[in-house]
């Protein structure tokens, strides 16, 4: 998203409170224009969904924006594409120096993105596939192909060839589309038989997809594994697997990671065996840094990709990992402190 990023199951997720510090030495360098003349006004035009992935992403963006010297106005359409387009128009007319677009639909957002750029307002986009319709914007994303490849390699190892599988995804969302390509290739190479393909994106992704997965599993209970390449989808699948008492025979593979995901994966007997992800806080912070570099004239190229890692339930349990703070300690690469960095940018650490 976390394509789309996100989470699932009938679980109430509280806002994640994370302590933030600034890496030593990063404030010593002289700030370039326009940051040497006070606060710089920007907008974040967001299209969030349910779950704590978006909470963490926004937390990272806000913390990094403050450390840089941004005055950031946040608009959140909350899964309403039409509202996000209207929010974009409002942001363009608000006198901002730059706009960050977080998630959304390319067809809906490209006209506004191009309008902003034509008006001299740089735009940095996260996880909206604008490379063809708005090529002058900066496109940032997780490496969705790498994330899907990592977790599906684990699925291949666990399941083997010629198995029956299920699939829960929502096409038309850039990160989920990229993950879908890897799924199709893996499914073909392993000669897996896909018994069902369901999924929809709403403001209650986990709950709504739990119902879809429940119906699919009732009709096809003998699948060996299910790929749900967004953690809110995986949560919905998890709920459906428990409801149908299939946790001993069905393995779940997701993408994205959060406190709620860790709790669900480490529960005794959980069928959610693997995911691949980044730290949503670090991604949000990285996107804010890309905007800073663009405004300072230091951003090279129009694409930025943030790396991720494979995370298994076995690894989490072995290392007694209970939350994202524990995971960061065991996987320091999640911080991505060297991505989109410069001597004058104070990189926040979570």
Q: Please answer whether residues 220 and 195 qualify as being in contact, where contact means their C-beta atoms are separated by less than 8 angstroms.
A: yes
- Is residue 154, in this structure, part of any structural domain at all? yes
Query: Do 73 and 126 fall within a single domain?
Result: yes
Query: Do 178 and 256 fall within a single domain?
Result: yes
Question: What domain range includes position 295?
Answer: 21-140+279-306+334-349
Query: Do 219 and 269 fall within a single domain?
Result: yes
- Is residue 210, in this structure, part of any structural domain at all? yes
Query: Do 188 and 135 fall within a single domain?
Result: no
CB atoms within 10 A of CB 263: 16
Query: Do 65 and 115 fall within a single domain?
Result: yes
Q: What token pair was written down for 21?
A: 């510090």
Total number of domains in the chain: 2
Pairwise CA distance, residues 178 & 70, whole Å? 32
- Is residue 268, in this structure, part of any structural domain at all? yes
- Is residue 75, in this structure, part of any structural domain at all? yes
Reference 256, options 125, 150, 100, 138; nearest CA is: 150
- Is residue 115, in this structure, part of any structural domain at all? yes
Query: Do 101 and 33 fall within a single domain?
Result: yes
Pairwise CA distance, residues 58 & 56, whole Å? 5
Query: Do 76 and 117 fall within a single domain?
Result: yes
Query: Do 64 and 182 fall within a single domain?
Result: no
Pairwise CA distance, residues 11 & 7, whole Å? 9
Residue 277 phi, psi dihedral angles, 5° rounding: -170, 180
Query: Do 208 and 258 fall within a single domain?
Result: yes
- Is residue 1, in this structure, part of any structural domain at all? no
CATH number of the domain within which 290 lies: 3.40.50.2300
| pLDDT per residue rounded down to tens, the chain (350 residues) | 444 333 333 322 333 223 333 443 344 579 999 999 999 999 999 999 777 888 999 999 999 999 999 999 999 999 899 999 999 999 999 999 999 999 999 999 999 999 999 999 999 999 898 989 999 999 999 889 999 999 999 999 999 999 999 999 999 888 899 999 999 999 999 999 999 999 999 889 999 999 999 999 999 999 999 999 999 999 999 999 999 999 999 999 999 999 999 999 999 999 999 999 999 899 999 999 999 999 999 999 999 998 889 999 999 999 999 999 999 999 987 888 889 999 999 999 88
Give the pLDDT of residue 52: 81
Question: For residue 8, what are the CA distances in angstroms to 25, 107, 109, 225, 320?
Answer: 40, 27, 27, 17, 22
Query: Do 25 and 103 fall within a single domain?
Result: yes
Query: Do 271 and 283 fall within a single domain?
Result: no
Q: Please answer whether residues 328 and 275 qualify as being in contact, where contact means their C-beta atoms are separated by less than 8 angstroms.
A: no
- Is residue 3, in this structure, part of any structural domain at all? no
- Is residue 312, in this structure, part of any structural domain at all? no
């Amino acid at each position: 998203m976390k394509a789309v990023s996100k989470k699932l199951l009938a679980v109430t997720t509280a806002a994640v409170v994370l302590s933030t510090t600034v890496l030593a030495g990063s404030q010593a360098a002289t700030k370039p224009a326009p940051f040497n003349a006070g606060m710089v006004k920007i907008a974040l035009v967001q299209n969030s969904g349910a779950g704590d992935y978006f909470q963490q992403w926004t937390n990272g963006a806000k913390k990094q924006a403050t450390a840089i010297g941004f005055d950031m106005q946040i608009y959140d359409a909350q899964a309403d594409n039409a509202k996000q387009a209207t929010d974009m128009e409002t942001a363009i007319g608000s006198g901002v120096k730059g706009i960050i677009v977080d998630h959304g639909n390319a067809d809906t957002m490209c006209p506004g993105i191009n309008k902003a750029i034509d008006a001299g307002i740089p735009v940095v986009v996260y996880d909206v596939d604008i490379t063809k319709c708005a090529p002058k914007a900066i496109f940032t994303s997780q490496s969705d192909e790498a994330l899907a490849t990592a977790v599906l390699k684990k699925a291949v190892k666990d399941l083997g060839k010629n198995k029956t599988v299920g699939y829960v995804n929502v096409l038309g969302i850039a990160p989920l589309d990229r993950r879908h390509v890897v799924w199709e290739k893996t499914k073909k190479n392993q000669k897996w038989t896909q018994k069902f393909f369901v999924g929809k994106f709403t403001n209650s992704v986990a709950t709504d997809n739990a119902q879809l997965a429940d119906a699919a599993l009732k009709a096809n209970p003998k699948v060996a594994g299910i790929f749900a390449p967004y953690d809110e989808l995986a949560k919905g699948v998890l709920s459906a697997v428990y409801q149908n008492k299939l946790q001993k025979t069905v393995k779940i593979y997701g993408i994205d990671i959060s406190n709620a995901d860790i709790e669900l994966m480490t529960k005794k007997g959980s069928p959610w065996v693997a995911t691949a992800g980044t730290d949503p806080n670090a991604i949000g912070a990285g996107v804010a840094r890309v905007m800073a570099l663009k405004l300072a004239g230091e951003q090279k190229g129009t694409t930025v990709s943030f790396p991720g890692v494979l995370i298994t339930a076995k690894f989490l349990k072995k290392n007694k990992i209970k939350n994202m703070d524990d995971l960061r300690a065991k996987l320091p690469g999640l911080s991505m402190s060297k991505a989109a960095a410069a001597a004058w940018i104070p990189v926040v650490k979570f």
